[in-house]
Amino acid sequence: MKEAIKGLEPRSLWEHFHEIAQIPRCSKSEEKIRDYIISVAKRNKLSYKLDAIGNTVVKKPGSKGLEKKPGMVFQGHLDMVCEKNKDTQHDFSKDPIKLKRDGDWIKADGTTLGSDNGIGVAAALALMEDKEMKHGPLEFLFTIDEETGLTGAIQIANDLLDGRMLLNLDSEEDGAVYIGCAGGKDAEIFLKMDLEKIPGGFKAVQVKLGGLTGGHSGLNIHEGRGNAIKLLNRFLWRALPQVSGRLASIEGGSKHNAIPREAETIVFLPPDKIAELKKMVKMYDAIYKDEYKLVDPKVSLTLTESGFSVPDKMFSSQLHTRLLNLLFTIPHGVIAMSHDIPGLVETSTNLAVVGRKNEQLAILTSQRSSVGSELLEIHDMVLACGYQAGAEVHSGGGYPAWKPNPKSLLLQRAKKVHKKLFGKEPEVKAIHAGLECGIIGDKFAGMDMLSFGPTIMGAHSPDERVQISTVDKFWKFVQSLIKDVAA
């Protein structure tokens, strides 16, 4: 597996990334990766501090004569999204991520790679170990649980940092720096499980919607990729009344911040209606392949009559109808584009997960917006769908947006350094995703912030990959910024 990074530069960064890939680090399980961070700090005789929730800061004093230079904070998150393909055998609690090189890309084998945010963390570790570069005071902030609600940043101790110049290493586009991000909020809807006996003679079939790309529910939401829950439900809503079909189970999606790639259901129906349902499956499979031929060409809708566990009860007529109508009416996708920044999604919502949770059917959604009032509006719209269905509705905790500051002194410095290095200024952007900068900026008054990183594609999905050539550029940009501040 180390063959994948053989000969890659910067060597220290890639070696740390390889080591990080050996360590289980799903959200809320960051203990081992935190221990690795601390071991590197101790090995390099650097002081470190943990807050009550488990965020870690490592402090590296300025080089001789540069101790009074402005302090810089490099920030990344320790956790990763743990997603795998259905046919991939992988236990994220203990198995290492298998790295593979494919031309100019590093990727994993049927799982998420963890370059989000493993590359940023590896860069910070490489900086911690660097003995050659002259620099002012440096701090390295490693937060936990970013991927499941930014809770590490939300609960960060407000005395953890000294510097007021923060570089977030969690963006995914070479040649761009980010100066703003969306805020977010989750809405969860619960329907009470109401089951009844299966009529005599009814037979179970399984219908699956798969082959979708999925992706990040903020970064990829504007691309119009298929949502497995919405597409499966669209078929069921139209087809089941025509074959006297009744749901017995439904599952789709797995993460609040990932567009669902797969969904499946078990349906009971009269045996003499199965042939008709098969015809409709074939018809909708063709429809979806046509509609999504450019963005999700591998989409598939399939029906099987065996090879699955058959439930002993099915949904009541009321639960069946309420669920199908609810999944149809809950919005998904882009709601509004920004009038201020061309091409920026301003507001969106993601129908993320559906499945049984104890004695209820749970539907998880997440909303994003760079405008606080619009975030509240789309969040309330989703809640209203739940209320209309007579469901129990929970409003999850949110996080603030990061308001762009085009006059930022750190931004002006970054433009100058980037132009000197690469012959042009970076593209200045805001991102339709929840970066920790918004929260950190709220907690630490006067914090000047930027976010940037190498090119990462397919984040939050097993297609995740990082572009090798852009990692070297990213590293040189980081080093040059440090030298410029210390000059």
Which residues are marked as active site?
A: 79, 146
Amino acid at 375: L
Collapsed DSSP state (helix, strand, coil) of residue 167: strand
Amino acid at 79: D
Which structure tokens are listed for 359? 């004695």
Which structure tokens are listed for 225? 């990729």
Cβ-proximal residues to 320 (8 Å cutoff; 6+ apart), any chain: 240, 246, 247, 314
What DSSP element (H or E) covers 151?
helix 151-154
Angle separating helix axes 409-422 and 468-486, nearest 10 degrees: 120
Long-range contacts made by residues 412-419, C-beta under 8 angstroms, separation at least 24? 413/481, 413/484, 413/485, 414/177, 414/450, 414/452, 414/481, 416/484, 417/477, 417/480, 417/481, 417/484, 418/177, 418/477
How do strand 427-431 and strand 176-181 relate by DSSP bridges?
Answer: parallel
CA distance 469 to 282: 43
- Closest to 38 (Cα-Cα) out of 22, 52, 57, 21: 57
- Closest to 170 (Cα-Cα) out of 141, 199, 137, 195: 141
How do strand 300-304 and strand 183-192 relate by DSSP bridges?
Answer: unpaired
Strand-pairing partners, residue 187, are 365, 395
What DSSP element (H or E) covers 381?
helix 372-388
CA quadruple 211, 258, 448, 484: dihedral, nearest 10: -30
Backbone angles phi, psi at 145, to 5 degrees: 55, 40
Q: Which is it for the CA torsion 451, 452, 458, 461, positive or negative?
A: negative
Which structure tokens are listed for 283? 């018809």
Amino acid at 43: R
CA distance 486 to 127: 15
